Amino acid sequence: MSKKKSKSKESTKKVQTDPPEVPVAQLFPRGIFPEGEWQSYQNDQRWRETSEEKRVQARLQNHMINEARQAAEVHRQVRQYMRSIIKPGISMTYMCETLEDTVRMLIQAKGLEAGIAFPTGCSLNHIAAHWTPNAGDKTVLQYDDVMKLDFGTHINGHIVDSAFTVAFNPKYDPLLNAVKAATNAGIQQAGVDARLGDVGAAIQEVMESYEIELEGKTHQVKSIRNLCGHSIDAYQIHGGKSVPTVKGGEQGVRMEEGEFFAIETFGSTGKGYVHEDLECSHYMKNFGVGHVPLRLPKAKQLLGVIDRNFGTLAFCKRYLDRLGESKYQMALKSLCDNGVVSPCPPLCDQRGSYVAQFEHTFYLHPHKKEVLSRGDDY
């Protein structure tokens, strides 16, 4: 009797469809989501693993960390599907909308409780970050492009921010390998009481030990020195701490127990320095901004839309279009001019160069660190 029961239970257990349409919460009916990759802290903090007090403290955080694990599982499943459909010739707009619709479905998007935490960055070649197509953009992915796919998911403001690079041409492999190794070196160095400057030094040392040959010219892979990783707070993707990707920065600042961090590294064949360029698509309401008197009625109305739908999470113009907003350009400019919203324009190295990115989110538990966004892919 009992054997039959367990068999029927097994047969009704949901599995993900292709394309994925089953919310991740339904795949884990007990509400316990997969853990990330556990890593030990460095030697002087290794004692935490055997401390009973630290283990008890870790268990007290189960509910909060379980929400972050759910966001991470959504990220993994979405990117796994996207890798199967991203091919040369795909429209960037179609790609982004497919990714975002899949996130909304798998995370059961609901206002500010669950959804997308950061618009889909799909920056190409010398563009390092913060590019996504605006309405009417006809860009198509090419065989020789190097695309950074960067997006965030969240449950109740617990954000998972993770990115990887897509390149079809194997000539770019050394660049991707350099950045993946540098990101992993940064994660390895990170931990409770770790100096942010030491993390940056570890990243740069690994990154710049790689070379790539393109069109008969050998380039040392450079760590982009003015792009950083960051701590993550609730509903605030860029918390108060920056994690440098070169040596010499943030020497006195340390990581602390109970913090979320995103380590992201960018390797470039160019100058290793980015500047703002091109049309802006990403925006974010400033965290902690109080009441600001706005003269333009349309700006007030648009701020209401932003508050209800995004709060302090980043959004892009396509998201406003999707909500039925139109002719909002002047209102958006007014919100930016008044310091309520910050524009986040594309960040570019020199034209003709190539930039790759890998990023992971991890949490500093009392006893160990957990790389929440780790998957079989990266």
Q: Which positions are catalytic?
A: 150, 161, 230, 238, 264, 359
CB atoms within 10 A of CB 290: 6
Asked whether 283 and 277 are in contact (CB, 8 A), the reply is no
For residue 166, the one-letter residue type is V
Kindly provide the residue ranges of all beta strands, DSSP E only, lying in the chain, ordered along the sequence.
37-39, 114-124, 127-129, 146-155, 158-167, 211-214, 217-220, 222-223, 229-232, 242-243, 260-268, 275-276, 282-285, 315-316, 341-344, 347-348, 355-364, 369-371
Provide the residue count of the chain: 378
Helices (H), 61-91: 62-85
* DSSP label of 140: B
Report the alpha-carbon distance of residue 23 to residue 327 in Å, rounded.
34
For residue 232, the one-letter residue type is I
- Cis-peptide, bond into residue 19, ω within 30° of zero: yes
| Tokens matching residue 41 | 């802290």
- Sort 361 into a burial class: Cβ within 10 Å, 0-12 / 13-18 / 19+: buried
Q: Which of 350, 238, 243, 226 is nearest to 287 (CA)?
A: 238
Q: Which of 241, 265, 252, 244 is nearest to 200 (CA)?
A: 244
- Cis-peptide, bond into residue 88, ω within 30° of zero: no
Asked whether 231 and 260 are in contact (CB, 8 A), the reply is yes
Q: Which of 124, 361, 350 is nearest to 224 (CA)?
A: 350
Report the alpha-carbon distance of residue 202 to residue 85 in Å, rounded.
35
Radius of gyration of the CA atoms of the chain, in A: 21
